[in-house]
């Protein structure tokens, strides 16, 4: 299942170098949606945090990036899916400074602040999907 | 994995990050720098990030770790050349960089290191004269 069109692309996240590839893919799309440089940087940074989470906590997964529109403005949606252990307490995971691993605990909470829309779906034992959207101004 | 080269200029080590860093390269850089500082006795480290498009929490933490580690080897660290978009993003992300010193560009970073090197000389001088005083006292 590797659909690649001009408006949608996805990448596996199985290693460190994939996190870099996801950053580059999201950057390419952000430029396409004509996001400002600051918004591009925010989106790519958020994507970097989430891709690393997918790798380190979800045991790897997939990042899907697509061009979206709300009728008035273009935007970018990035969805990070893993089939890892899931997040038992999502409120805790979204708290600044809380970490289940060795990180700073800024990944989830920081990423949420950097984008316009942020959704998490998680089931313990099944996996986690985090979806973010950033709209062009 | 890309390894970031470390250049030596006098007693300053210069790291210019020009690639999109993967986490393993970040960890390797931390180790390489610690080794280089001890091997060369460098008193300053400059990390040039003018070529860096994003700094996320992992890369940001590297700066803090490198600064603390270098401190243990009596070396100061200055991060230079941060892009405006990166700075804005870092603040929103919630990363403060702790006690990491920053400067607008390489030149200003070198000035900071030169100044702290001068202070170091002054305090070293004081230490020596203290020892000398003690030696005199011991003699008398």
Chain mean pLDDT for chain A: 91
The reply to whether residue A20 touches residue B20, judged by beta carbons under 8 angstroms, is yes
Distance from the Cα of B94 to chain A's closest Cα (Å) equals 6
B64 touches A: beta carbon within 8 Å: no
Neighbours of B138 (CB within 10 A): 7
Count CB-CB contacts under 10 A for residue A95: 13
Kindly provide the ipTM of the predicted complex, given to two decimals: 0.88
Residues 52-71 on A with a CB inside 8 Å of B are 52
Residue A3's CB is within 10 A of a number of other CB atoms, namely: 9
Chain A residue at shortest CA distance from B86: A41
Q: What is the pLDDT of residue A104?
A: 64
Question: What pLDDT is stored for residue A103 in this prediction?
Answer: 67
Average pLDDT over residues B48-72: 93
* Overall average pLDDT of the B58-73 stretch: 92
φ/ψ (deg, to 5) at A113: -70, -25
**Min CA distance, B70 vs chain A (Å)?**
21
Mean pLDDT of all residues in B33-53: 96
Number of helices followed by number of strands (H, E) in chain A: 4, 5
- DSSP designation for B53: S
Does A19 sit within 8 Å of B92, measured CB to CB? Answer: no
The residue in chain A having the minimum alpha-carbon distance to the alpha carbon of residue B91 is: A110
How confident is the model over A85-135, as pLDDT tens digits? 999 888 888 888 777 666 667 788 999 999 999 999 999 999 999 999 999
Nearest CB to B22 within list A17, A38, A40: A17
* Partner A, chain B 1-20, Cβ-Cβ below 8 Å: 1, 20
Who among A23, A52, A114 is closest to B89 (CB)?
A: A114
A28 touches chain B (CB under 8 A): no
pLDDT of residue A8 exceeding 50, the answer is yes
Residues B85 and A40 sit within 8 Å (Cβ to Cβ): yes
Separation of alpha carbons A101 and A92, rounded Å: 13
Query: Which pair of structure tokens corresponds to residue A13?
Result: 């996240």
Whether A48 contacts A106, CB under 8 Å = no
- The answer to whether residues B102 and B79 touch, using CB atoms and an 8 Å cutoff, is yes
């Amino acid at each position: 299942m590797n659909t690649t069109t001009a408006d949608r692309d996805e990448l596996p996240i199985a290693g460190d170098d994939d996190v870099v590839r996801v950053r580059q893919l999201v950057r390419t799309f952000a430029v396409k949606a004509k996001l400002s440089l600051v918004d591009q940087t925010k989106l790519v940074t958020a994507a970097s945090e989430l891709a690393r989470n997918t790798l380190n906590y979800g045991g790897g997964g997939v990042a899907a990036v697509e061009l979206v529109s709300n009728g008035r403005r273009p935007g970018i949606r990035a969805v990070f899916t893993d089939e890892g252990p899931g997040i038992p307490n999502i409120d805790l995971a979204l708290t600044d400074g809380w970490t289940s691993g060795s990180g700073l605990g800024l990944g989830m909470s920081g990423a949420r602040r950097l984008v316009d829309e942020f959704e998490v779906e998680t089931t313990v034992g099944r996996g986690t999907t985090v979806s973010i959207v950033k709209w062009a101004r | 994995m890309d390894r970031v080269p470390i250049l030596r200029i006098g007693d300053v080590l210069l790291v210019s990050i020009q690639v999109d860093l993967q986490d393993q390269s970040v960890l390797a850089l931390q180790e390489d720098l610690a080794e280089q500082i001890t091997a060369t006795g460098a008193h300053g480290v400059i990390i040039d990030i003018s070529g860096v498009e994003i700094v996320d929490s992992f890369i940001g933490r590297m700066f803090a770790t490198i600064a603390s580690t270098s401190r243990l080897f009596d070396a100061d660290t200055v991060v230079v050349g941060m892009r405006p978009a990166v700075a804005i993003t870092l603040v929103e992300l919630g990363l403060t960089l702790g006690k990491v010193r920053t400067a607008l560009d390489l030149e200003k970073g070198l000035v900071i290191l030169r100044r702290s090197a001068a202070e170091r000389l002054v305090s070293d001088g004081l230490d020596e004269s203290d020892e000398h005083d003690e030696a005199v006292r011991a003699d008398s």
